[in-house]
Amino acid sequence: MDDHQQLVSYLTDIHAIEVQALEQMKRAPGIAGGPDLAAIFRRHRDETVEHERLVRQALAARGAEPSTVKDAAGRAGGWGMLLFARLNPDTPGKLAMHAYSYEHMELAAYELLSRIARRLGDEDVVRLAGRIGAQERAMAERIGERWDEAVEASLSAKGAEDLGGEVVKYLRDAHALEAQATQMLETGPRIARDDALKRVFAAHLEETKDQQRRIDERLDALDAKPARFQAGALRLGALNLGGFFKVQPDTPAKLAGFAYAFEALECGAYELLRRVAARAGDGETALLAMSILAQEEAAAEQVAGTWDAAVDAALAEQAARA
């Protein structure tokens, strides 16, 4: 695969991401649960329409078109995420959590695209990636400023007597995410082919196992156990974040981007958990959520620190196949 083909391949990946994002943004305002959340989703829908157009335009300028297969996978992933959110009784919270993670996946994708384009000498794509990436970061920040609104919308119909049960539900969600994280961190090094990312995975694997142990202990203290159904449903929802990857070979860069998005998903879960626990007067669970949240934020930054090395490894791998 020559330089032109490599760049086109990454641009078609990005286009599939925007197709998936657009499916989400079209429907998200209707299930957001609060006027401010609905407004930011509508605003980002308009931005996403422009993102898709710009990426399609960049492909056309290079004599290429979007990938029908990748775009179809993107649409299916967008529908899956929204269906998952809609089927949960706390839809606004779940929607915000998954949208926050998806914005981080888009941010990672554009950060990686920028690095790839710079190495391949295409400054127009470097500028495009910088422009759109800044808007994805801003949208993630807007969601992150509205966790309280998402929790309020999710719990508005709940009485004070119900809040203890809600804490258990959110703890079970966190337990399911840690199980998914463990699976990713155990299998990731076999396809990472990048020593920097392998080291981050190895360090965070031990941390993740300890996090799951602490959540188990907290559930036990509340006379509760993990729920298998929630674990399976959350696993499905989390995997939709990388749905468009399923039709592509794994590469170090894509794995680094997905890992970053998954850390953001976990951060969203703990942001919600600590607020629900605080409402329920459960200080111990709130402190636990804050402690693990800090670890997930640090892990996300560590993953982002591998992006340069991951891009180098991905391009070297593709060059070797040429």
Q: How confident is the model at residue 119 (pLDDT cuts 50, 70, 90)?
A: very high
For 227-284, how does the pLDDT look when each residue is reduced to its tens digit (9 = 90+)? 765 555 554 444 444 443 444 454 778 889 989 999 999 999 999 999 999 999 999 9
pLDDT score of 211 more than 70: yes
Give the per-residue pLDDT at 73.
64
Question: pTM for the full model?
Answer: 0.90
CATH for 230: 1.20.1260.10
Range of the domain at 160: 3-321
Q: Own/partner pairs for 136-139, CB < 8 Å, 24+ apart?
A: 136/103, 136/106, 136/107, 136/110, 137/103, 137/107, 139/40, 139/44, 139/47, 139/103
**Nearest Cα residue to 175 out of 206, 221, 219, 240:** 219
The Cα–Cα gap between 48 and 23 comes to: 10
Give the per-residue pLDDT at 254.
85
The Cα–Cα gap between 300 and 218 comes to: 24
The Cα–Cα gap between 278 and 53 comes to: 43
**Nearest Cα residue to 234 out of 178, 155, 167:** 178
Average pLDDT value for the chain = 87
Are 34 and 149 in contact by the 8 Å Cβ rule? The answer is: yes
**Nearest Cα residue to 102 out of 19, 21, 12, 11:** 21
Give the per-residue pLDDT at 190.
78
For 6-38, how does the pLDDT look when each residue is reduced to its tens digit (9 = 90+)? 899 899 999 999 998 998 899 899 888 889 999
pLDDT score of 207 more than 60: yes
Provide the number of structural domains found in the chain. 1
Are 108 and 257 in contact by the 8 Å Cβ rule? The answer is: yes
Q: What tokens appear for 230 in the block?
A: 């929630």
The Cα–Cα gap between 200 and 226 comes to: 27
Q: What is the mean pLDDT of residues 113-118?
A: 95
The Cα–Cα gap between 204 and 299 comes to: 7
Give the per-residue pLDDT at 247.
42
For 62-109, how does the pLDDT look when each residue is reduced to its tens digit (9 = 90+)? 999 998 877 676 665 544 454 554 545 568 898 999 999 999 999 999
Highest mean pLDDT among 54-63, 67-76, 189-198, 223-232: 54-63
